[in-house]
Structure 1
Amino acid sequence: MVNKITVVGAGNVGATAAQRIAEKELARTVVMVDVAEGIPQGKGLDQWQSAPIEGFDSRVIGTNGYDETVDSDIVVITAGIARKPGMSRDDLLNTNAGIVKSVGEAIKKTSPNAIVIVVSNPLDVMCWVAKEATGFPKERVIGMAGVLDTARYRAFLATAMDVSVRDIQAMVLGGHGDTMVPLISYTTVSGIPITQLMDKATLDAIVDRTRNGGAEIVKHLKTGSAYYAPSSGAVQMVEAIVNDQKRILPCSAWLEGEYGEKGIFLGVPVKLGRKGIEKIIDVSLTADEKAALAKSAQAVREPMSVVKL
C-alpha cells in the first residue's frame, strides 16, 4: 500500500479504476479528479460508502482541483473524450492532447515524484504528450495498452477453444490501434504452442478481432466505449508497481533504440516494479512480427508529427 493514488477523469474508466484500486487497498487515499463539478465528489462518496460492505479501508474522495492530489505516488490519467461509432482513436488526437497536456502540467507541480500511467487515447501519442508536459524520466511515464489488448486476445482464444483464460499465455505489442501486433510465436496454452491447437484461418480471425476489439464494443454501446477491461488493465499495472511485483507486462514505453525504434512510445514487454519501468525486455521476433511492429511504430509517428505542444 502507498499513501495516495490519483485517478484523473471520473468517467467510466476512471471511476471503475478508482473503485478497483480502493477495493484492492493499494493506497490509503484514492483521489478522483474531474472538471465536471459534483461528478467526482458524488462518485467518490458513493464508492466510500461501499467500503463497509466490500470491506476496504482505502478512503475515496472526489475533487475538481489538484490540491487534494499533492504528493500522489501514482497518477492514472483517463481524462479525455471517448470514442463514438465510426471514430478512430486518432480522431481524438487534438482534443485529448490539450487535455493531457494540462493534466501533465498539473501533475508536475503537485506530484513531482509520481509514476504516471496513461490510459487516454490515442494512447501512445498521449504518453508522449504526458512525458513532455511533466518532464518526468521515461521510467515514470507508462501507457496502458498492451495489457488490455493482450487480455482481449486471451479472452477470444479462450472462447474459441473453450478453455480457461488462466492457461493462455500471450502478448500483444505495438501501438494501441489497428496495427497492434499479437505475437503468435509467443502464444501458448499451458506451454503448448497455439499453432498446434488452432488452424491458421481461425487464429487469423482472432488476431483481426483483437485489433478491432475496442471498435467492436463501441459499435455495441453506440454512446460510449469500453471501461471494465481498460480499468482492469490500468489497475493491474498499479498493483505491480505498488507491490513491487516485478511483473513482465506489455506496456507502452519510451524507446531509445529497443526494437529498432527511437523517440517513440510503443507497446513492448517491460518489468514493472516500485520505481516504474525497471527494464524493457527485448525479445526475438519472427520476420513477419518485426515488419508488423515497424508498421505499427510508423502508425504512431504520423499523428505525433501534427501535435502542437
Structure 2
Amino acid sequence: MGIKAVVAGASGGIGQPLSLLLKTSPLISELALYDVVNTPGVAADLSHISSPAKITGYLPKDDGAKLAMKDADIVVIPAGIPRKPGMTRDDLFNINAGIVKGLIEVIAEVAPKAYILIISNPVNSTVPIAAEVLKAKGVFDPKRLFGVTTLDVVRAETFVAEIIGEKNPQSLTIPVIGGHSGETIVPLFSQAKPSVDIPADKMPALVKRVQFGGDEVVAAKDGAGSATLSMAYAGFRFAEAVLKGLNGEKNIVEPSFVYLPGVSGGEAIHKETGCDFFSVPVELGTSGVEKVFNPLTNINDAEKTLLKACVEGLKGNIAKGVSFAHNPPQK
C-alpha cells in the first residue's frame, strides 16, 4: 500500500529540511507540501531527487490545504512562526495556536484517519488544541495524535555521549518525559540503557541543557532563527518510527506527547500526574499508539523533584490549549 505523507508548513526553517528528509524515505510513496508561500518552488526542487516519493506543492489558493491533506496517511505539522531572541514560547502562542487549529480543522474534514504529528510550538498547548478540534468534529482517535518531543531525546543522547565519551550517541536510549518546553522537560538519566554514570557535579548543568537547549541555538543564531535543522531531524526520526510501526515492525518505542486517558497503559500515568497529556515512551504499531510505558515507577529523588515542577507547568499549558480551542481570541 502507498503511504501519503504531508508536511504542513513545508517552506519554513523546519519544513524544508524535514521535507527533504521525508523525500529520501523509502517508506513514503507520495509527499504533499503545504504552506502559505513558496511551496511550488520547494516541491519542484525536491522533485529532482531520485527517490520514489511523488511530490506536489500547494498554496492556500484554490483549496490548496484540502487538496494537500486529502486522504493523507500521516501529516507532520511544523507550521508557525519561529521564536526570536527575547520572545517566550507564550508570545508565539496565539499566532501558532490559530495556525494549528485551522490546519486540524482541514485534516478532520479530508483526512480524518491520518496520523497527526505536531511540531508547532508550544507543543504542550498545540496538541491539546488539536485534540479538542478533533473531538468537536467527532474524529478524535488518541492513538493517532502525537506531540513530537523527539528533539529532547536527541539532545539528551548527544549531550550524555559528550560527557561519557560515547562515540555513537544513537546507541544510547534515554527516556525524556513530561512536556516540550523548559522545566516541563524531564530527562530520566537513571533509566538510560545502557546505564550511564554521570558525575554528580555535571548533572544540574546537563539537565538544564536538555531543558533549555533551544535557547543555545537561538542565541548562537543571533536573531536569525531557532532550532530548525535539529528539529527537522527529530521530526523525521519520529515520523519514520510511526511509519515503521504502521508497516508492522515490532518493538518501535519512542517518547511522544499523547492523550493519556485514550491510550493503553495511560491510565496509571494520568492518575499519578493528573495531566491529560504527557510525553511518555510509546510503543508504535499498526494502529499508532499500541501502548505506553509507565516511566514513573522507578525514578530517583532528583527526578521526582523535576517531575513536580514539570506537572505544575504542564497542567497550565494544557488548560491554556483547551481554553483556546473553545474560545479563540477574537480577531
Q: Give TM-score, length-normalised by structure 2.
A: 0.85
The answer for the alignment partner of 1:158 in structure 2 is: 161
What is the aligned partner in structure 2 of residue 83 from structure 1?
83
Match of 1:187 among 182, 186, 192: 192
In structure 1, distance between residues paired with 2:202 and 2:190: 15
> Which residue in the other structure is 2:329 paired with?
none
CA distance in 2, matches of 1:166, 1:8: 28
2:143 equivalent to 1:139: yes
User: Which secondary structure state, in structure 1, belongs to the residue aligned with residue 121 of structure 2?
Assistant: coil
Q: Percent identity?
A: 30
Three-state SS of the structure 2 residue aligned to 1:75 is strand
Report the CA distance between 1:308 and its aligned residue. 2.2
CA distance in structure 1 between the partners assigned to 2:324 and 2:301 by the alignment: 35
Alpha-carbon distance in structure 1 between the residues aligned to 2:258 and 2:316? 17
What does residue range 51-200 of structure 1 map to in structure 2 within 5 Å? 51-52=49-50, 56-64=51-59, 65=64, 66-135=66-135, 136-145=140-149, 147-164=150-167, 165-179=169-183, 180-188=185-193, 191=194, 193-195=195-197, 198-200=198-200
> Which residue identity does 1:163 align to in structure 2?
E
Match status 1:234 vs 2:235 = yes
User: What does the per-residue CA deviation read over 1:121-159, in whole Å, with 9 as the maximum and x for residues that have no partner?
Assistant: 0012111111111232111110101x2101111111222
Q: Can you give the 5+ residue segments of structure 2 that lack an aligned partner in the other structure?
A: 262-266, 326-331
Give the whole-Å Cα distance in 1 for the aligned partners of 2:308 and 2:164.
30
**Structure with a larger share of its residues in strand:** 1
1:110 Cα deviation (Å)?
Answer: 1.0
Distance 1:248 1:305 in 2: 28
- Give distance in 1, aligned partners of 2:162 and 2:278: 28
* Cα separation, 2, equivalents of 1:171 and 1:88: 26
Q: Provide the C-alpha distance between the structure 2 equivalents of 1:127 and 1:234, rounded to a whole number of angstroms.
A: 15
Residue equivalent to 2:27: 26
Q: 1:169 to 1:41 in 2, by over 3 A?
A: same
